[in-house]
Every structure is written in C-alpha cells, then in structure tokens.
Structure 1
Amino acid sequence: MLRRLFKQSSIYAVASVTSKLTGFILLAYYGDPDILPKADFGYLGALDAAKMFVLLVAGVGLPLGILRFASSPQLTEAERAAVPATALGVALVAGGLTMAAGWGLAPLASEALFGTAARADAIRWLAVFVGFKTVSDVSYTVLRQREKAGAFVLIGVVESLLLVAAVVFFLIRGEGLTGVMKGYAVSAATIAFVVTPMLWLRVERRVDASLVGRMLAFGLPLIASGFASRFLNIGDRFVLLAMKGPEAAAVYEWAARFGGVVNTFLVQSFVLAFTVLGMKALDESGSPDLHRQSFRHFAALAGWVTLGLGLFVADVSRVLTDDPDFIGTEAVVLLIAGGFAFYGLYYVVVNVLYVAGRTRAVAVSVGGAALLNLLLNLLLIPSMGIAGAAVATLAAYATLAIVTARMGQASTPVAYPWMALVWVSALVGGLFLFAQPSADWAFEPRFGLRVVLAALYVPGLFVVGVYRRDDLARAVSLVRRREQAGSTPEADPPPGPPDAT
C-alpha cells in the first residue's frame, strides 16, 4: 500500500508541478506593474481566496462524499455504481445556482471586498469559474476514486495550460484584473464541457435520490470544516487587505505563491492519493501502519522542500521582477511553506476521522484552528506586517495537526513519530539561519553555500535520527528488487486499453 501511495503521489505531482510552473509564468506578468498594477495583484489575492470559499460551498462536500460512498462496504453494489451520476446531478444544480447568484450579486460582493462596485465584472467572471469548476470536479474525483492517476494528471495539465494561455491573452489585451478572472472562467468552462460528457458515457447513468440525502449529510458538515481550513490557508489575505492595504497584500501574495509550492507540489499530490488509499487501508485491514509511515516520510520530504524555498526564493524572484519588496520575502516564504508542511501532516491524521465518519469532530478541530489563526492575525499583523500573517498561519496549522491527531486516537490509535517532526523542524531552521549571512554576497558564493546547505539536509536526517541505516538498507533493497523486476519481460502484465474514468 505504501508503494501504491508513493507511485500515485508521484503521478499526481506531475499535475501539481505543471500547475505551479504555469503559475510562475503568470508571476512574470503579475510582477510587471505596466500589465497588472501592484494594488490589483493584492486584490487578485483576495479574489483567489474568495473563489476557494465559494467553490467549497458550491461543491456541498461532494468530492469527499464520492470518495467515501463509491467504495463504501456499507452500500450495495448498485448504490455504489450510482454515486458518480448522482453527484453529477447535484453538482449541476449547485453550480448553476452559484453562477446565477454570483452574477446578480456581484456589485454587492465588490462593495464588501473592495469598498467599491467598480470590480463587479471581475466577480461575475469569478462566479462563472466556480459554476463550471463545481461540475468538472465530479469527474476529477471519480478519477481519483478509481485510481486513474494518469488520466487525472493529463486533464489537470491541459487545464493549467489553458488557464495560463487565457489569462495572458486577456492581460495583453489590457483587461487587468477582470481579464484574469475571464481567463479562469474560460479554462474551467472548456474542461467542464469536455470531461462531463466523457464521465456520463463511462458510468451508470442513474441518479439515486436516496443517495442524495446521505451524501449531503456526510458532506455538509465538511463545508464548515473546509471553510475554516481555507481560512487557515488564505483568509489572511482579507485581514491584510483591510489592515495594511492592497500593496502589502500584494507582497504577501507574492510570498504565498512561492510558499505554496509545498502545498501544490507536495500536499495536494499527496492528499489526492492518500485520502483514497488511507481510507482503503483502514477499511480493509484496520491497520494504521500506512498512516504512521506516511507521517514520517512526508515530514522529512516537506522539510527539505521548505528549506529549499527559503534558501533560493530570492534569486528566483530576481528573475521575475525588479520589485525589492517581492525579492525580500525569503523568511516569510519559509514560514508559509512550513505551515503547508503541517497542513500535509494534518491530512494524514484526519484520515482516521474520515473513516470513522466523525466529520463533526473534523469541523470542530478545523474551526478552532481557524479562530486561532484569526486572533493571531489580528494580534501580530499590526506590529509585524506580513511576517505576522505568516507566523499566525504556521502556528495555526501546527496546532491543527496536533489536536486532530489526539482526537483521532479515540477511533484508531496511531503511534505517530512526533520526535522525527521535531528534529526535521530544527534541521530546517538551523540550516536556514546558517545561510542568512550570505544574503549580501555575490551570486556565485551565495548560491554555492546554499546548495551545500540544502544537500546537508539529507545526511542531517540520519545524524539526528529521523532515519537509520536500516531504513537506507530497505530503500536500496526495494530499488534493486524493482530494477530486477523491470528487467524481466514477464514481470509486469501488458497494459490494458485506456480508460478515461
């Protein structure tokens, strides 16, 4: 099961990497004030946050509902077969209502977010994006549930490329913030019109009305927890915009785009695989061994990526922009990335609660962490600015992971390796601090030192005891077995015909 998790996470990471790389292409445009004013980039951060909240409500908890019910042993085979079509029917209704409401209420929403109705058109196109994305998310989730990672990645890569092309097209036309939202809407609508008929042709075309109530009962409590979870992720944009103005929000948004590499590259690709496999592991065997092992491996890998971001983000920013505020965000990036690392660990520990059906407990834990995040933001932003927002997010995510793990022990006791997490955190912080005197050096010696520090992280894991020699021996043995199997023609069965779902 751990091998399947690694394989599927690696495949999903292709889509995540493509999404993040295309996002960096857009940063080259967002960082140019002649194309998108700095204040508008700050407003874009708030709109991106708003779209995640609205998408959550419009989705009515369907993604996790599909994952839970499509493989639930508590349902009959006929009921499980009807899950995709039933979810699609709910999504079409919810997406259509969201689009209509957003289009009509755009002036009021613009007033609430920006203090003026002048950006109502941007919000209208945002509503169009959410409506179509709600529908296409059903197809994406069915692919995850059926472990069709390759098809999922292919569609995700196409959508990312479409989004970049559309956004750049409208930006070059001089449409600014509204053009960005138009680009979002065009990409989402195109994908929805392609994947929805494909899904409909490959599933049992039967909507089971009795499933609707059960799926909503499972998913609706997750809206509250998801709302709080998204506030942990992106709610600080609203607080910064209100307390420090759009230009400070723009600088934080720049740092968040880089810190979000951990979220996009590691957390999301990992979660796409682990949510499914973690549930199946506990349903089939009742053993939490996959959860325990995943906790340690994810902590070690996320720590390395977090350290790399902190060490090299300033030089990458120099390639994309001349703005010194954007370039000088490496410490903020490290804090944001660290917060997302804890976010990934949260998904390991919360899986136990999903399997137990304790969605209300999930809502309580995430809601408490969101409240803590809000309070810390209000306390720290006035004195620390964007660094205060980053500290608040890191502290809230760490608290969420710890509290959720303790809550899950009542359902399934898991011996998570917490000391490994402590040593990873200390290693990341120590190596990052050791690099700080090089900030004013010339590029060559600065870059050389930071490459060495990033490389030292790996042996450092063995020095502090996160890994031992027997772990290395098992990894080498596994690689050798896979190489030997790959050299034998009969080792793997021939691939079957492609299946889009």
Structure 2
Amino acid sequence: MLDRTDTAVETPTHLSKLFGRDSLYMVLWGVQLLAAAGLTPVITRVMGIGEFGVVASAMALMQVTMVLGGFGLQTAIQRQFARPGGDLDARKLLSVTLMLACAFTVAALLSSSWWSGALGFEGSLTPPRLAIVWAGLSVATSAALALLRSQDRLGAFAAVSLVQSVVAEAASLGFVAVLEPTSSHFLVGRVLAQLAATVLALLMVRPRSFGPGDRTMARSALRYSLPLVPAALSSFVLTTADRLIIQSLMDNDAVARYQVAYNIASVPILLLSVLQAAWLPRFFSVPDAEDRAALVAQTRNTLYRLLVPAVLGLAVGAPLVIRLWAPPNYEPGKLSLVASLVIITAVPFAAQVVASLHLTTAGRTGTIALAVAVAAGANVVLNLLLIPHFGLEGSAFSTLAAYAACCLVLQRSVRRTGSIPSSPPSLRIALALACLASIAVTLLPYNPVVLLLRAVGAAICVVVFINLVVSTRRQLI
C-alpha cells in the first residue's frame, strides 16, 4: 500500500490520464456520434415515421439481446488484462465470449417466432431477426474493443469503432435510399457494417484458443461478470424500455417522436457511458482502496463542473436541433420538455458512472446489479403509470426519477466501502441551478426570435464549456 505522501503524487497522475489520453476514446466516440447525428435528419425524411418507429424498437431489442449474449465478459476481459496472465488470458476470455455469444444468438433466432409478437413486431419476423444478428456481432466487436482499449491501441480502436458507427449509418442510409425506405433495409445496412467491424476487430486482437487448463480462470471470470448481466439488462430497461412501453400504450409515431428528442438529449449520457468504458482500465490499475477513493472524488467533481454549462447549453439549444432533425409531422415544438428532462438525467448518471467504476474495480458487481435493477423496476412502473396521463413527458420524467434512484443506492454503497469526500456545496448548488434553468427555458415560446436567442445562449454555453475543459487540462498537466 502506498503511504499518503505517495498518494499526493499518484492521484493527480491518474486523474491527468483520465482526462488526457484516456478521454481521447470518448472524443473519438463523440466524433462518431456527431457524424451519425448528421445523417439523422436525412433518415427521418427518407423513411416514414412508422418505419422509423420500427427501427427504434429493433434497436432496443438489439441492445437487450447484446446484454444477454455477452454474459458481462467484456468487463471481465479488461479485469483479466490487469491481472497476472495479462494479455494472453484476456484473449482466451475473448474466445469464451465468442462461443457463448454464438450459442445465444442461434437460440434467440430459433425462438424469435414465439416472442416477437409480444414485443410489438407484428407481420414480419425480419426486423427482430436482423436485430438479433446485429446484437450477436456487436457482442464480439465490443469484447474485442474492450481488449483493444486495455492494450491502449487507439488507432485500431478508432478504425473498428468508425466502421460500426459512421460506416454503419451510411450503409443504412444507402440501403433505404437506393432500394426501399423500410426498416428491414435499414437494419440490413447495419448488420453488414457490423459484420465488417467484427472481422476487422478479431483480426486485430487475435483470440487465443481456450484449453482445459484455463477452466479455473474462466469460472472466476464468469463469477465476476455474471452479476453484470442483470445490471446491464436493468440498464437497458432504464435506457430503452420506455420506447417499448410507448409503442405498447401509444403507437409507432409516438416512438419516433420520442426517439428524436431522446437521441439529442441523451448525448451527455452516451458520452458519460463511453467515458465509463474508457476509464475502467485506469481504475483497475489503482488497487489501493484509499488512492481509488481519492480518484473517485476528484473525477466526480471534475465531471460536475463540466456538466453545469453542458446541461444548460444543451437544454437551451435542443429545440433548434430537434427542428433541424425532424420534419414538421414530428411536432418538434412540443418536444422541448421531453428533451430537458432527459438532459437533466445526465447529472445523476454522472454520479452513477463514478460510483460504478469504484464498485466494479472493488469487485462489488452484485451491488451494482441490485441498484440498477431497483431503478429499472421503478422506471417501468413509473412509465406505465405516467404515460397514460402525461404522454411523452411522463416517460421522460420516469427516466430522470429512475436514474436518480439508482444514483442514491450506489452512493450509499460507495460510502460503505470507504471514506469519499463529498462534493463542494457550491458545486452542488451550481448543478441544481443549471437543472432548474433547463426546465425553465421550456416555457419560452416557440418562435423565430426566441429560437435565435436560444442559438446565442447555446453558443455562450459552448464557449464556457470549452474554456473549462482547457483550464482543467492545464491544471492536471
């Protein structure tokens, strides 16, 4: 164990790496999100609103299938990389992941005719089956990307990531534009691009064969990773079950309208999720509990400072982006409150990310599973109760409340593992004011003058955010 004089030097070093090279993986994903976002206005206009709703539901199915078929081994691969055995054992675990994913994908395809109708896929089995294949390939790609991240091979990571995101978006758009604007053609484009990404990733990481002598290592990895399956599944419920419930209680048009607003508003949540994946190897490299607690506190406070202008700026500018992304039949003027509620969700989610990093590296994956499961159940119940009375706004509020509940449970568990300093009161007040302002701006009228003022306000927040990022980097170097 390091003494406290070492900690003073070591913690800033880890923190500088988190917000330095480690965050380049988040920047890479951010570029991909922006490139993919640029195609969304085209896709929503080429495809009918009903077909786009089917695509949104198929994406939700893909995500839950990916969670189940991955068995949580993506995180176990990174954990194994940091332990004795290192790269060799991690590549053997990758082979185990591929075998389990293949078996699960085949089982899901064979049983798809039994359950697809209950999820709202009526008339054709093609969209759900394409979603299943997409999920199986995504498991393999994500596991390989996890190993590339642990190896810190940024160039290889970038190449695979760009193929499964930007190239996939372009392929889907090409299929619906050249052939026919249907959900099936859109999904075919995604599956083919994901296949290319999977092949590229596996060529780069070269999985190693798994032998009888590796069973103990595999069993240990599964004991660690299996609690992450219900955690990830519950996380899926938190992030996507609202669309399935909206489809069930309302219609595909409502799903499409909610999806457009959610895609914009959830950008901070997506980037924080990417940061969580990018930062996990760094937290694995800090075995001392006290050092890790100090790193948790400093990481949390830095994220909170950056979220103040990010949340407010996105809430101010979201109606502008929605208007550009969606045609008039999406009724973009009525989606401002939906977007703001989802944007504010980034605040409890940031605390959840840091707490999850701490608990994951401490081996307390079961605690994470319990916390996320409780929040997921609350999300489903709240959606069922609120959507009939408040529509899409009720669903967005359910998301915010569920994430807040998950954050509270995880924070309580983190406090039990050791002493982590609280964030400064001034920082908590600034975050609260930013959230209140994000709700207040939804009361503004939807006219050209106000939209222009929104553009100016959003630009100011962007400048403030960039200045904060630059000053933070200078302090850490």
User: Which position in structure 1 is the counterpart of 2:56?
Assistant: 45
State the secondary structure of the residue aligned to 2:416.
Answer: coil
Residue type of the alignment partner of 1:446: L
Residue type of the alignment partner of 2:243: R
1:430 aligns with 2:437: yes
Partner of residue 365 from structure 1, selected from 365, 371, 378: 371
User: Which position in structure 2 is the counterpart of 1:305?
Assistant: 310
Compute the displacement of 1:449 (Å). 4.9
Asked if 2 retains the 8 angstrom alpha-carbon contact of 1:304 and 1:457, the reply is: yes
Residue type of the alignment partner of 2:320: D
1 CA distance for matches of 2:243 and 2:286? 37
1:290 aligns with 2:301: no
1 CA distance for matches of 2:417 and 2:126? 48
Encode CA deviations 1:444-484: one digit per residue, 9 max, x unaligned. Answer: 7424652476379779x9xxxxx9xxx99x859648xx6xx
Asked if 2 retains the 8 angstrom alpha-carbon contact of 1:128 and 1:185, the reply is: yes
Compute the displacement of 1:324 (Å). 5.1
Matches within 5 A, 1:168-187: 168-172=173-177, 173-174=179-180, 176-187=182-193
Compute the displacement of 1:359 (Å). 1.6
User: Which position in structure 1 is the counterpart of 2:154?
Assistant: 149
Residue type of the alignment partner of 1:450: G
Encode CA deviations 1:205-247: one digit per residue, 9 max, x unaligned. Answer: 5652221111111111111111111111111111111111211
Uncovered stretches (5+) of structure 2, i.e. residues with no partner: 1-13
1 CA distance for matches of 2:400 and 2:472? 32
Compute the displacement of 1:385 (Å). 0.6
Asked if 2 retains the 8 angstrom alpha-carbon contact of 1:369 and 1:399, the reply is: yes
Give the CA RMSD over aligned residues. 2.8
> How many aligned residue pairs are there?
459
CA distance 1:450–1:324, change in 2 (3 Å):
farther
Asked if 1 retains the 8 angstrom alpha-carbon contact of 2:95 and 2:208, the reply is: no
Residue type of the alignment partner of 2:54: Y
CA distance 1:320–1:408, change in 2 (3 Å):
closer
1:231 aligns with 2:237: yes
Uncovered stretches (5+) of structure 1, i.e. residues with no partner: 462-466, 483-501
Matches within 5 A, 1:99-110: 99-110=105-116
Asked if 1 retains the 8 angstrom alpha-carbon contact of 2:260 and 2:322, the reply is: no
Partner of residue 386 from structure 1, selected from 380, 389, 392: 392
TM-score (norm 1): 0.84
CA distance 1:282–1:326, change in 2 (3 Å):
farther
1:316 aligns with 2:329: no
Residue type of the alignment partner of 1:129: W
User: Which position in structure 2 is the counterpart of 1:62?
Assistant: 73
User: Which position in structure 1 is the counterpart of 2:255?
Assistant: 249
Residue type of the alignment partner of 2:410: T
2 CA distance for matches of 1:190 and 1:428? 41
User: Which position in structure 1 is the counterpart of 2:4?
Assistant: none
Compute the displacement of 1:380 (Å). 1.2
User: Which position in structure 2 is the counterpart of 1:164?
Assistant: 169
Asked if 2 retains the 8 angstrom alpha-carbon contact of 1:61 and 1:222, the reply is: yes
Asked if 2 retains the 8 angstrom alpha-carbon contact of 1:133 and 1:188, the reply is: yes
1:94 aligns with 2:107: no
1 CA distance for matches of 2:330 and 2:317? 16
1 CA distance for matches of 2:455 and 2:145? 42
Partner of residue 218 from structure 2, selected from 212, 215, 228: 212
Asked if 2 retains the 8 angstrom alpha-carbon contact of 1:87 and 1:138, the reply is: no
Asked if 2 retains the 8 angstrom alpha-carbon contact of 1:349 and 1:404, the reply is: yes
CA distance 1:128–1:475, change in 2 (3 Å):
closer
Compute the displacement of 1:26 (Å). 3.5
CA distance 1:70–1:49, change in 2 (3 Å):
same
1 CA distance for matches of 2:450 and 2:429? 32
Compute the displacement of 1:443 (Å). 6.3
1 CA distance for matches of 2:444 and 2:132? 47
Encode CA deviations 1:164-213: one digit per residue, 9 max, x unaligned. Answer: 1210122111051111211121111101112212211xx76565222111
CA distance 1:108–1:408, change in 2 (3 Å):
same
Asked if 1 retains the 8 angstrom alpha-carbon contact of 2:276 and 2:357, the reply is: no
User: Which position in structure 2 is the counterpart of 1:494?
Assistant: none
Asked if 1 retains the 8 angstrom alpha-carbon contact of 2:70 and 2:139, the reply is: yes
Sequence identity percentage: 21
Compute the displacement of 1:321 (Å). 3.1
Asked if 2 retains the 8 angstrom alpha-carbon contact of 1:9 and 1:269, the reply is: no
CA distance 1:68–1:291, change in 2 (3 Å):
same
CA distance 1:326–1:186, change in 2 (3 Å):
farther
User: Which position in structure 2 is the counterpart of 1:442?
Assistant: 449
Partner of residue 412 from structure 1, selected from 418, 428, 433: 418
Asked if 2 retains the 8 angstrom alpha-carbon contact of 1:251 and 1:325, the reply is: yes
Asked if 1 retains the 8 angstrom alpha-carbon contact of 2:69 and 2:100, the reply is: yes
Compute the displacement of 1:111 (Å). 1.1
User: Which position in structure 1 is the counterpart of 2:21?
Assistant: 8
Asked if 2 retains the 8 angstrom alpha-carbon contact of 1:99 and 1:127, the reply is: yes
Compute the displacement of 1:50 (Å). 1.2
CA distance 1:168–1:233, change in 2 (3 Å):
same
Compute the displacement of 1:22 (Å). 3.1
User: Which position in structure 1 is the counterpart of 2:381?
Assistant: 375
